[in-house]
Amino acid sequence: MKSKPVVIVPTHLARPTPVEIVSLRQCGKILGQRDIVIVAPSSLDLGAYREFLPGASEMRVEPHWMSSIQAYNRMMISPVIVSQLEGYTHMLLHEPDAIVFRDELDYWCRQTQDYIGAVWFEGFADATPDAPVIGVGNSGFSLHRLDALRRLVTSRQRWYPYRQAAKDLVRGLQGNGNRMRLGLKALGQAGQLRGAWQLYEGHCDAFWSNLVPQLDAEFKIARVEDAVRFSWEVRPARCLQMTGGKLPFGIHAWAKYDLEFLVPYLVDAGVDCGGIQNS
């Protein structure tokens, strides 16, 4: 079956930051002929985004879903977005602080992975230059196979073990009211993948790349050698070595990690950096 991807750009700000303006301008330049959907709170004026993504459509969500980082992460493991993407085969999550260099979307959609994001190094944001790779999964610039996501966000499979819920209830009977509420909730739908958004407190990328593969053997995470060609986040110099000197499809948080190193490569790739300087 031929793939039909959609580019999702989530935002909660009335106006993009200077870094995001560079990113959004580049997104429109490279992916402007693709189906792009801006996901935003229902009351947010998106006029400032139209300058860069004039052909994008809108997906409105309840404001509480984007009221905090935790709420956003819960939204990204819920059916809220996935349920509105019928007809699409893949979702490219392009957060406003990510940047794309080439349109490789069709190539990556033809691969077999269900989820692909930038590699993680030990220490994450504080990784040292020689830190070992510990996984794949940063979601800021990531590709998701929607059939797999739809299956999982409606699955009754438990992610919260009954034994942990039982421990919570015991603690509750000992006087810990919060643990009692947690245990009772975990016994129901919130303890299943379809309701994980009600209880899960971690980041959505850890959910998809670490938790889900432990529960579902069919869910395929990209190999490190593929992920580093797809996207980067921290330690761009190290990533460049891993790719043999080639920029990836995109980079998340490009202005946050070693911008001084990246700028010449961005300029060479045709990115209008708009005066952005290393801070």
Q: What is the pLDDT of residue 276?
A: 78
Q: Which CATH number does 5-156+201-268 carry?
A: 3.90.550
Mean pLDDT to the nearest integer, 151-155:
97
pTM given for the model: 0.96
Residue 161 pLDDT exceeds 70: yes
Q: What is the pLDDT of residue 1?
A: 74
Q: Would you place residue 277 in the very low, low, confident or very high pLDDT band (cuts 50, 70, 90)?
A: low
Residue 186 pLDDT exceeds 90: yes
Q: What is the pLDDT of residue 278?
A: 46
Residue 150 pLDDT exceeds 60: yes
Note the pLDDT tens digit of each residue in 64-93.
999 999 999 999 999 999 999 999 999 999
Note the pLDDT tens digit of each residue in 93-129.
999 999 999 999 999 999 999 999 999 999 999 999 9
Domain positions in the chain are: 5-156+201-268, 158-191
Q: What is the pLDDT of residue 279?
A: 44
Mean pLDDT to the nearest integer, 250-258:
97
Q: What is the pLDDT of residue 111?
A: 96
Mean pLDDT to the nearest integer, 37-60:
97
Mean pLDDT of the chain: 96
What DSSP assignment string belongs to the chain? ----EEEEEE---SS--HHHHHHHHHHHHHHTTS-EEEEEETT---HHHHTT-TT-EEEEE-GGGGSSHHHHHHHTTSHHHHTT-TT-SEEEEE-TTEEE-S--HHHHHTSS-SEEEEEEETTGGG--TTPPEEEEEEEEEEEEEHHHHHHHHT---BSS-HHHHHHHHHHHHTT-HHHHHHHHHHHTGGGBGGGGGGT--S-HHHIIIIIHHHH-TTPPBPPHHHHHHHEE-S-HHHHHHHTTS---SEEESTTTS-HHHHHHHHHHTT---TT----
Residue 275 pLDDT exceeds 80: no
